[in-house]
Structure 1
Amino acid sequence: MSLYDIKVSTIRGAEQNMNDYKGQVLLIVNTATKCGFAPQFKGLQQLYTTYKDQGFNVLGFPSSQFMNQELAEDDQIAEACEINHGVSFPLFSKIDVNGKNAHPLYQHLTSEAPGALGIKQIKWNFTKFLVDRDGRVVKRFAPTDTPESIESHIKELLSR
């Protein structure tokens, strides 16, 4: 299965195919609005604003799997992201990123880019996956890696 075969649900409940992002460089992030890393929303938005016209997109996938740090309902998440963090990049319906109910997208991402010591499991909110224009997962970034610190990797993929 390729990344582009996977279906996702937008934060507003519409079904979408990842094929819609074919040809773009993607930064896929599991988010949580009540997490200590939530200030990264600003940096993610800045990356999106700066590079969206060059074929780049940030895709946010809220999850409550880490100390329940996400709001209960998708509409609350969308509102908090927009009002509190100025987010305009695509957000998706809340999902599980680990375990038996992990969304197929995260099963794919973690299989393609395991973390330290080959561990596939997502350790915390704001783990980031950088995907090239061909749908290959090229790098996994830890929650502590700020959006600003990975900008050079994005620029490199956009220049190819």
Structure 2
Amino acid sequence: MQSYAAARSLFSFLTFIAWCTIIGGALIFIMAIAFLSQFNSSFPAMISAAIPGIGICLFGFLALVMVQIGRASVDSAEFGQQSLQVARDQLAFAKQVHHGAVSEPTTTQAASPSSSAPSQHQNGSVTYYSTVIAANTDGTYLAKDKTFPTLEAAKKHVDEQPVWSR
């Protein structure tokens, strides 16, 4: 799920710019100190010449921090989308399980055909848990794109499938 690809690309570019700023500030700092050391300048003169380089480095670090905060917010938003999708999937699964449990007969009800009981069609196919098991002309049965020698084997295969894929 890369719905924030543009934001990720922008933050990658801004990270590159921030690191270039940090490296540029460090180079300015080193060059200022090296230039003034050739003339045997005083310590306060060297510090005052190094201040722009230090300031540029600090600005680069602050920019890098802001980029990382932005990237963390994109990661958080994407994680929120994934969590929401998982919650929706679980809700759909819970609804299917609930509807399946409601349609099954309880011990107090009379024995009557439930929705899970196979229903026979005119063409010889059987619907079992909303899965159509087709009867082939050679006496085999087709369920979920697999061939089975008996109807019971096909039903067993359907029973082994997760509820949401039936």
Give the TM bin, normalised by the shorter chain.
Answer: under 0.3
- Between the two structures, name the one with larger relative contact order (CA 8 Å, sep ≥ 6): 1
Structure having the higher Rg: 2
TM-score of the superposed pair, with normalisation by structure 1? 0.19
Answer 1 or 2: which has greater strand percent: 1
